[in-house]
Homo-oligomer: A and B are copies of this chain.
Amino acid sequence: MTTYQAIELDPWVALGDRTRRQIFGLLARRPRSVGELADELPVSRPAVSQHLKVLKGAALVQVRPEGTRRIYAVDADGLAAIRSELETFWSAALTNFKELVEADEPSGTTKEKR
């Protein structure tokens, strides 16, 4: 229990790692086996395995057994989840900007003095 063996359900944390984002990018292109991924990355196969575990814990990828191989693919639902969370930030920020532009706000929600 030294590493990210523990359940990691935060997709942001999962994609926060460069290597995992690379893996995710490769899988977005097309599903691949663990070995295939490792071949295209500068890390060992076990490392890829561990990263996949995190991505899977974050519901960003899915596995499909195929003989002795495990074919990984991106999980559309998980991707949609983090996407919508980003949209939340986005719309909140946009709303905020609009209020700033309008500059004079009757409602007391915007003004804050301290």
Which residues of A line the B interface, CB within 8 A? 10, 12-13, 15-18, 21, 24-25, 28-31, 33, 36, 62, 64, 73-77, 79, 82-83, 86, 88-90, 92-94, 96-97, 99-100, 110, 112, 114
Q: State whether A82 touches B74 (Cβ < 8 A).
A: no
If A74-B89, A79-B90, A86-B82 touch, whether A96 touches B16 (CB-CB below 8 Å) is: no
- Whether B96 lies near A74 (C-beta < 8 A) is yes
A40 to chain B, nearest CB (A): 13
Contacts of A74 in B (CB 8 A): 89, 93, 96
In the complex, which of the residues B15, B64, B75, B93 contacts A79, with contact meaning CB atoms closer than 8 Å? B93
B76 contacts A97, CB within 8 Å?
Answer: yes
Q: How many copies of the polypeptide does the oligomer hold? A: 2
A79 touches B83 (CB 8 A): no
Q: How far is the CB of A96 from chain B (nearest CB, A)?
A: 6
- CA separation between A99 and B30, bound complex, in Å? 9
A16→B31 CA distance, assembly (Å): 25
Partner of A83, one of B24, B90, B97: B90
Q: Which residue of chain B lies nearest to A33 when distances are taken between CB atoms in the complex?
A: B114
